[in-house]
């Protein structure tokens, strides 16, 4: 019976990820659709594995005998997931330690770190309390107004704690890389993250200045992982850059309240735990 639970969860996760991903609708609609499709399948798999482990390898469920194969499989899946989490956390910790070797400077009344490089780069690097990192090339190239626009965008990443939440989403990406559309959904979420930061920054500075800064600051990020680094602009498909600029120049979109169906799907991900009391 436990094996049937695992196979059902795997089949459902695969089918949901095969759902067509069309980047259409408002920002809120796109975010809820992409976030739900990205998070629900791994959540279902993780909770199913936890339920199987809680029930153990002995006993029966629904009249069928439990076995060591499904129990070992569940432990193996969670073990691999745990190792990948530790690996990603170690990479992030090393990045934070490297960042702290950079000299500290003050920018618009806020502390940051100075990267001695000619590339035009700015980013929040870290986890819950990320640090702002800007390059020498950025400070030498941008005037005060354009620099203020870039810093407003980075402040938006800090406000939404993007580095913290995308660390966990990056972990989800790694443990479900074998599922369909994982990379497509990840790229969509990254784009929507930047669109949200742009929209927040556009309330603080002139959107046109922000769009001009975006065209100027297109460079290779010194930090490879976007799970704990929220950079203003990194190398990306041209359509992502164009969409961000078009969104800045278009009338601002009214924010909609989160749809209840998204929370219903998240709650459904915990449904396998309901089967635990039926194990005898």
- In this predicted structure, the answer to whether residue 138 has a pLDDT above a threshold of 70 is yes
pLDDT tens per residue, range 94-137: 989 988 999 999 887 788 899 888 888 888 998 998 999 998 98
pLDDT digits 0-9 by tens, 256-269: 555 666 777 778 77
Backbone angles phi, psi at 67, to 5 degrees: -140, 165
pLDDT band per the 50, 70, 90 thresholds, residue 254: low
Distance between CA atoms of 248 and 113, rounded to whole angstroms? 28
C-alpha–C-alpha distance, residues 37 and 19, integer Å:
8
CA 154 to chain centre: 16
Q: Which range has the worst mean pLDDT, 125-129, 216-220, 223-227?
A: 223-227
Can you list the alpha helix ranges (DSSP code H) found in 58-206? 68-99, 136-141, 144-159, 162-175, 182-201
Neighbouring CB atoms inside 10 A of 105's CB total 13
- Which pLDDT tens digit goes with each residue over 58-68? 656 555 556 67
Q: Is the pLDDT of residue 228 over 90?
A: no
| CA pair distance 74, 47, nearest whole angstrom | 10
Q: For the chain, give every domain's residue range.
A: 2-19+26-252+259-278
CA angle 13, 193, 163 (to 5 degrees): 90
């Amino acid at each position: 019976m436990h094996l049937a639970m695992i196979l059902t969860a795997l089949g459902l996760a695969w089918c949901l990820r095969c759902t067509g991903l069309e980047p259409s609708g408002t920002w809120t609609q796109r975010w809820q659709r992409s976030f739900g499709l990205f998070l629900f399948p791994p959540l279902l798999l993780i909770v199913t594995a936890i339920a199987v482990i809680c029930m153990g390898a002995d006993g029966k469920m629904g009249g069928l005998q439990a076995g060591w194969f499904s129990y070992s499989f569940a432990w193996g899946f969670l073990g691999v997931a745990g190792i990948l989490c530790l690996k990603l956390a170690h990479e992030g910790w090393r990045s934070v330690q490297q960042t702290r070797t950079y000299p500290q400077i003050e920018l618009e009344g806020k502390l940051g770190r100075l990267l001695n490089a000619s590339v035009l780069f700015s980013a929040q690097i870290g986890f819950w309390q990320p640090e702002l990192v800007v390059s020498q090339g950025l400070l030498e190239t941008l005037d005060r107004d354009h620099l203020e626009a870039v810093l407003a965008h980075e402040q938006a990443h800090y406000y939404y704690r993007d580095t913290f939440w995308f660390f966990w989403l990056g972990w989800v990406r790694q443990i479900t890389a074998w599922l369909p559309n994982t990379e497509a959904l990840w790229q969509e979420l990254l784009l929507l993250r930047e669109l949200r930061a742009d929209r927040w920054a556009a309330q603080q500075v002139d959107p046109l200045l922000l769009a001009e800064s975006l065209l100027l600051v297109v460079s290779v990020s010194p930090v490879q992982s976007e799970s704990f680094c929220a950079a203003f602009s990194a190398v990306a498909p041209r359509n992502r850059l164009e969409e961000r600029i078009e969104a800045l120049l278009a009338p601002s979109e009214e924010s909609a309240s989160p749809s209840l169906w998204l929370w219903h799907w998240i709650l459904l991900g915990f449904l396998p735990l309901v089967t635990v009391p039926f194990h005898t």
